[in-house]
Structures are given as C-alpha cells and as structure tokens.
Structure 1
Amino acid sequence: MFKGLGAMGDMAKMMKSAQEMQSKMAEMQEELHSISVVGESGAGLVKATATAKGELTGLDIDPSIFHPDEKEVAEDLILAAIKDAQAKAQERSKSETRRLLESMGLPADMDLPI
C-alpha cells in the first residue's frame, strides 16, 4: 500500500500504528470500568469492591465489628479494606496495560499516561 513512498510511507505506517494503539487504549480504559477487584481487612470482616479504575462500588461489613466501644477499630478496618481495593485496582490496571502493550509488540514496562 505504501510502497514507493519512502519516508512518507514509513510515517504513514507509524501514524496508523499510533491510531491503532490509541483505539486499543480507549477500549482498555472502558474495560477497566467493568473489571472488579475486592480489598479486604480484618480477615474478611470488611470487604471493599472497586473497579480496576479505582472507583469504589461496594462495601460489605460483617455486623460483628459494630460495638460502640470499638468505633475506631471499625473505622480502621473500613479504611484498610478501601485502601486494599484501591491498591488492587491500580495493580490490575497496570497488569491490563502490560498485557495490551505486549499484544502490540511494545515493551511491557513502557510508561503510558493512563
């Protein structure tokens, strides 16, 4: 298709590759909204669910942690579960990005603005 165009043909191929990568990155960003991760604390007494984009979507709290004299413990467990879910979301996002980059023949550790 680009034979005989020399450098212009190479530039056209590069532009096509960049557009393909941009399209695949947009697809991946949409997929990250549908991937769920679960963070836990207190041996599963508190569970926080988030999308791989880090948006908190659910919180499951075992009622046994609700004692008036242990309010701070309950708060700490809730925060810990949320932080765990966010960390897992970030790692899942990185994992999905690495998978995409590798599928396109690019270095898996390439730093992209996501």
Structure 2
Amino acid sequence: MANINMQQMMKQARKMQEQLAAAQENLESTNVEASAGGGMVKVVVNGSMQLESITIDPEACDPEDVEMLQDMIVAAVNEGVRQVTEIAHKQMGSITGGLNIPGMPF
C-alpha cells in the first residue's frame, strides 16, 4: 500500500517538474513594457529580468534636469522588473499551489 502512494507521489512530482520547466520556458519568452514620466521613458524587460530596450522621448532630455531623466529610467526599469516578477509568481504559484520550493527563482 505504501509503495502505491510512493509511486503516485513520484508521478505527481515528475508532472510538477515538467510543468515548472514549461512555465520557466514560457516566462523566458515573455516581454513586458513599462513606462514612467507619462510615457516619456519606456522599457522592455524580458522574463529573465534583463532590460531588452529603452526608449526616451527627446522632450525628456532636459540638460538642466538630468536627474529627472535618471529617475524616470530607474522607475520604468523597476516597474518592468516588478511586472515580470508578478507574472512569474502567478505562473509558478498556479503549479506549486503556493508552496515555497527551495531553489525556485520566484
């Protein structure tokens, strides 16, 4: 009887592992766009949390206020990373049932 339960657990563990691998692959192909400053700075962050691109409206390039442009860039990148993290948590959480599995990136 215990052998049947162990076999069932191993089968479920393999299935979860396959689902997690598929979710990770799907996440890696995900791109999110985020912006700051009313769209003056736009970034694209991929599912691996890497900055893919950045677009800056020329009107945001005020030589008298470089600090504001820097702040908008940081805000846009942080928002992109936050969105990717949220997507990852949702995808992984739906598979793991909210369990915190050691070694999981999210």
TM-score, normalised on structure 1?
A: 0.82
CA distance in 1, matches of 2:66, 2:56: 13
Match in the other structure for 1:111: 100
For residue 100 of structure 2, give the secondary structure of its aligned residue in structure 1.
Answer: coil
CA contact (8 A) 2:16 2:95 kept: no
Tell me how far 1:67 sits from its aligned partner: 1.8
Tell me how far 1:31 sits from its aligned partner: 0.7
Does residue 1:56 correspond to 2:30, yes or no?
A: no
Tell me how far 1:53 sits from its aligned partner: 3.1
CA distance in 2, matches of 1:41, 1:61: 10
Look up the equivalent residue of 2:24 and give its one-letter code. Answer: Q
2:35 pairs, out of 33, 37, 40, with: 40
2:94 pairs, out of 99, 105, 109, with: 99
Tell me how far 1:110 sits from its aligned partner: 2.1
TM-score, normalised on structure 2?
A: 0.88
Q: For structure 1, which segment, 51-60 or 21-30, has the greater mean C-alpha deviation from structure 2 after superposition?
A: 51-60
CA distance in 2, matches of 1:53, 1:32: 8
For residue 69 of structure 1, give the secondary structure of its aligned residue in structure 2.
Answer: coil
Structure showing greater radius of gyration is: 1
> Superposition RMSD on alpha carbons, in Å?
1.3
CA contact (8 A) 1:37 1:85 kept: yes
The alignment of Structure 1 onto Structure 2 pairs a total of residues equal to: 103
- 1:91-110 deviation digits (Å, cap 9, x = unpaired): 11111123334xxxxx3x22
